[in-house]
Amino acid sequence: MSATTILVVDDSPFASQQIKDIVEGNGYKVVGYAKNGEEGIRLYDELKPDITILDIIMPGIDGLETAEIILKNDPDAKIMMLSSLCDAGTLEEVKSIGLKYLVPKPWEDDVLLATLEMLVKN
Amino acid sequence: MKVTWSGNGGEWLTGSEVKQIFDASFLDITRKLVRLEISRMEKTGEEQKKAVPDQGYREKIQTKGAVNTTVVCHFSEPLFQYIINTMHGGISPEEAEIPLYINEYMNIICGHAISKINNITKTKSRLSVPEFYGDKDVLEVSGKKEKVQYLAYESPYGEMRVYLFIE
């Protein structure tokens, strides 16, 4: 059985490396990194990952807008939002574009992994 | 007590309470992210009026929306190096990537604080992308200086000063 593939869209190399370290030790495979939303949309179309992890605060178009564009092109896309902004209003915004998961930065590894597992199952 | 920010059915916060929220965030996130205990340095009222240093390593990030504020952080060089090196696995990142590491540090701290403020006041504010200012880069702040809130920290690796300009 092949590993679940992940695309990471985050302008922070710190976050990208941390995600790679955690997920690749738990049966996932990071197949691409993007440093902004535009690059993320292009890589999504090119790589068709099983899961996309998207930061919200990024230069250029933010993560929420990026998620909307990816979902418009592929309504079945599985996306997990990641952000230091994790208030009720942000969660409502995430839900309003049809997504379920918002993981706070800095994350707990088990929360990140449990969220990925839920995405895989749904 | 002077009210600084009003809520929308939520609680009201004074500038001093906002400062406490940022303080808790700096202490907590620095501990989690770079495994460092920093502690508050109490300054007198006169020292709090000092302007942001125009040299050294600085970061600026803004909150926009119901709460408009500019947060500027000034790091002593050893503390700055400690933070970015720790976030890069214990070694110095490449020159071009240095801002990305300190940007993430500030993004997480300020995002944590503004999320708490949003939840308490039931208002909505967002964060700008953080900006890094190197040794002699010119940093301008648009907030009112009379409303500045000041936090200073010390650690085994040096000091850090935080200026919250509330608009």
Express each pLDDT in B9-43 by its tens digit.
777 888 889 999 999 999 999 999 999 999 999 76
Listed residue (B48, B78, B46, B61) closest to B139, CA to CA: B61
- As given in the structure block, the two tokens for residue B122 are 């039931």
End-to-end, the C-alpha distance of chain B in Å comes to 18
Residue type, position B151, single letter: L
Predicted pLDDT at B11? 78
Predicted pLDDT at B84? 97
User: Is B82 within 8 Å of B98 (Cβ atoms)?
Assistant: no
Count of alpha carbons within 13 angstroms of residue B2, beta-carbon side: 5
User: The domain containing residue A8 runs over which residues?
Assistant: 4-121
Taking an 8 Å cut-off on Cβ atoms, the answer to whether B110 and A84 are in contact is: yes
Could you say which of B87, B101, B129 has the minimum Cβ distance to residue A57? B129
Predicted pLDDT at B148? 84
Residue type, position A76, single letter: D
In chain A (122 residues long), the average pLDDT of successive 10-residue segments reads 93 96 95 97 98 95 97 97 95 96 96 96 85
Whole-angstrom distance, CA of residue A113 vs CA of residue B22: 29
Taking an 8 Å cut-off on Cβ atoms, the answer to whether B129 and A58 are in contact is: yes
Alpha-carbon gap: A45 to the closest alpha carbon of chain B (Å): 26
Alpha-carbon gap: A49 to the closest alpha carbon of chain B (Å): 25
Q: What is the mean pLDDT of chain B?
A: 88
Total number of domains constituting chain A = 1
Listed residue (B31, B74, B69, B30) closest to B51, CA to CA: B74
- Three-state SS string across A23-35, please? HHCCCEEEEEEEC
> Any idea what the CATH number is for the domain that residue A97 is in?
3.40.50.2300
Could you say which of A13, A58, A105 has the minimum Cβ distance to residue B111? A105
Residue of A nearest to B125 (CA): A89
Alpha-carbon gap: A1 to the closest alpha carbon of chain B (Å): 32
Count of alpha carbons within 13 angstroms of residue A121, beta-carbon side: 6
* Percent of chain A clearing pLDDT 70 (strictly above): 99
Residue ranges per structural domain of chain B: 15-166
pLDDT at B146 over 70: no
Predicted pLDDT at B1? 43
Could you say which of B87, B112, B122 has the minimum Cβ distance to residue A84? B112
Length of chain A: 122
Predicted pLDDT at B104? 97
| pLDDT band at B50; cut points 50, 70, 90 | low
Taking an 8 Å cut-off on Cβ atoms, the answer to whether B110 and A83 are in contact is: no
Predicted pLDDT at B15? 85
- As given in the structure block, the two tokens for residue B36 are 């460092």
Taking an 8 Å cut-off on Cβ atoms, the answer to whether B29 and A106 are in contact is: yes
Q: Domain B15-166 carries which CATH code?
A: 3.40.1550.10
Within B7-54, where are the H helices? 15-34, 45-48
Taking an 8 Å cut-off on Cβ atoms, the answer to whether B104 and A58 are in contact is: no
Calculate mean pLDDT across residues B106-121: 95
Taking an 8 Å cut-off on Cβ atoms, the answer to whether B114 and A58 are in contact is: no
pLDDT at B109 over 90: yes
- B81-108 per-position pLDDT tens digit: 999 999 999 999 999 999 999 999 999 9
Interface test with A, best of B107, B124, B125 (most A CBs within 10 A): B107
Taking an 8 Å cut-off on Cβ atoms, the answer to whether B124 and A89 are in contact is: yes
